[in-house]
Amino acid sequence: FSGGWRMRVNLARTLFMPSDLLLLDEPTNHLDLDALLWLEQWLTRYPGTLLLISHDRDFLDAVCDHIVHMHHQTLELYRGNYSRFERTRAEKLALQQAEAAKQQARREEIERFIARFRAQATKAKQAQSRVKMLERMGDIAVAHTDSPFHFTLPAADKTSHPLLVLDQATLGYRGEAGDVAQLEKVNITLLPGSRIGLLGPNGAGKSTLIKSLTGELELLEGKRVPGEHLAIGYFAQHQLESLDVTTTPFVHVQRLSPTASDQEIRNFLGGFGFKGDDAFGEVATYSGGEKARLALALVAWQKPNLLLLDEPTNHLDLEMREALTEALASFEGTVILVSHDRHLLRATVDEFWRVADHRVEPFDGDLEDYRAWLKARLEENRRDARSEKSERQSQQPSGDRKAARKAAAELREKLRPLKKERDQAEKSMEKAQQALEEVEAVLADPELYTDSTRKAELTQALAKQAEIKARLDAAEQTWLAAEEALEAMEAELLASENA
């Protein structure tokens, strides 16, 4: 299963388990905007204590009333949401900067006094007093607020008008059992400077649209007409897996441009956080966030005039997200963006397209309008369901109701073995996850990859990792199959009880 499926499985298990304390580590990764808005609403109503790690500032603003800041191996508690934390911390850093400057001026004044009067007998005692004062004076650290990331997305050398056209296109996948169409009658003309955000639930076809625009996915019907000077920059999460883990960021860029100078490459990579020797670190030792930064760097290096970005902020911390936001805001080319990061969407796109119900259509409004539209649609679906239920009950004879009750009792009996199978799979998943964390802690040791005497240990750890992942996948498949069967049976039970 993909990382997205694993996230949804783990999140579902966690949310619907009764608790007083809820611990969530990056719960919004791999969620679409629709699901994120639902989760946000659910968490605001959660009655217990919530401890949350997230790099989504809008999400933090909505669900948190305290922020714990981890800095220089210390924890500091701030009251209020993330926006208030930013303001409070900025004020604190400005004060700290002023205090540090004031202390440095006082220190220099004392040092000048000591240097001037230490040799004079009449002033020696005062000079010695100043020396002791200097020794007692604690250091006020200079505040550093600069982000380690700063980069631009260079303009392409040439462009086309239009850049790309899809004409009466049907998008989807070809399979042995036949074609599976996800989107139909798609007509798109991409012009230079367009900035478009894609809205819609997971599975509706947003990624399919992106892949079809890149040409990675062949159209089932219709035409794809690229402009003469079309240059696509494409980022998606699966590209992290295509990185060569045996080499370095420097070599990745050098392979794209063998004639580029070493200093040019190093300067470029520095903007993405790969400064100094970090440009020569082995990718195998990198975290998901570091790999995502490298993949984005490779996209930027190629100077595209059309950027297609599918959830680029997954695994990125807040500072890198802000750097990406600033770079996209100043990018002169065309952008199509799939993201659940509302701050990024607000700052970088001018219009939205809704991808759902097998169509790609312009959405007339902003993100707040989309939230209101989703809420109204949910209410409408509930009203329709209540109306349909009421109509069925009014038309059903009493004999049918007795049969329905009998059928419901039989369904309840069938639920028991499925629940047992699901619970056993859940325990297997927990054991496998714990074992995986242990072996990945071993694999996180950089020396394991550089020490030639530990090759056997590395091979053994990688083999164990693969074996545990296989067990975890098998347990997840069992859990999902049981959960889906339970959901279907419970829906059938609910329908029979309401009949």
Q: How confident is the model at residue 447 (pLDDT cuts 50, 70, 90)?
A: confident
Q: Are 198 and 224 in contact (CB under 8 A)?
A: no
**Cβ burial, residue 200 (10 Å; 0-12/13-18/19+):** buried
Q: What is the DSSP string of 1-55?
A: --HHHHHHHHHHHHHTS--SEEEEESTTTT--HHHHHHHHHHHHH--SEEEEE--
Q: What are phi and psi of 131, to 5 degrees?
A: -60, -45
Of residues 361, 345, 334, 29, the one with CA closest to residue 204: 361
Q: How confident is the model at residue 1 (pLDDT cuts 50, 70, 90)?
A: very low
Per residue, what are the HEC states of 203-221?
A: CCCHHHHHHHHHCCCCCCE
What pTM did the predictor assign? 0.63
User: C-alpha distances in angstroms, 172 versus 2, 54, 185, 186, 234?
Assistant: 19, 33, 12, 12, 19
Q: What pLDDT, on the 0 to 100 scale, is given for residue 197? A: 94
Residues 6+ apart with CB under 8 A from 426: 13, 479
**Cβ burial, residue 50 (10 Å; 0-12/13-18/19+):** middle
Report the alpha-carbon distance of residue 78 to residue 359 in Å, rounded.
45
Asked if pLDDT for residue 70 goes beyond 90, the answer is no
Residues 6+ apart with CB under 8 A from 130: 110, 113, 114
Mean pLDDT of 150-156: 82
Q: What pLDDT, on the 0 to 100 scale, is given for residue 395? A: 60
Q: What pLDDT, on the 0 to 100 scale, is given for residue 264? A: 92
Q: How confident is the model at residue 104 (pLDDT cuts 50, 70, 90)?
A: confident
pLDDT single digits (tens) 196-252: 999 988 778 888 899 999 998 899 999 999 999 999 999 987 778 788 888 999 999
Mean pLDDT of 468-489: 75
Query: Is 164-364 in CATH node 3.40.50.300?
Result: yes
Q: Which is more confident, 66 or 7?
A: 66
Per residue, what are the HEC states of 423-442?
A: HHHHHHHHHHHHHHHHHHHH
Q: What pLDDT, on the 0 to 100 scale, is given for residue 143? A: 45
Residue 138 DSSP one-character state? P
Q: What pLDDT, on the 0 to 100 scale, is given for residue 144? A: 46
Q: Are 367 and 342 in contact (CB under 8 A)?
A: yes
Residue type at 78 in one-letter notation = Y
Asked if pLDDT for residue 131 goes beyond 70, the answer is no
pLDDT single digits (tens) 10-27: 787 788 778 889 999 888
Q: What are phi and psi of 78, to 5 degrees?
A: -120, 140
For the chain, the average pLDDT equals 82
Q: Percent of the chain beyond pLDDT 90?
A: 23
Q: How confident is the model at residue 426 (pLDDT cuts 50, 70, 90)?
A: confident
User: Can you read off the two tokens belonging to residue 5?
Assistant: 């499926």
Q: Are 483 and 422 in contact (CB under 8 A)?
A: yes
Q: What pLDDT, on the 0 to 100 scale, is given for residue 142? A: 45
User: Can you read off the two tokens belonging to residue 417?
Assistant: 């073995």
Q: Are 314 and 29 in contact (CB under 8 A)?
A: yes
pLDDT single digits (tens) 267-296: 999 888 888 888 898 888 888 888 888 999
pLDDT single digits (tens) 387-416: 666 665 566 555 555 666 666 677 777 777
Q: Which is more confident, 131 or 288?
A: 288
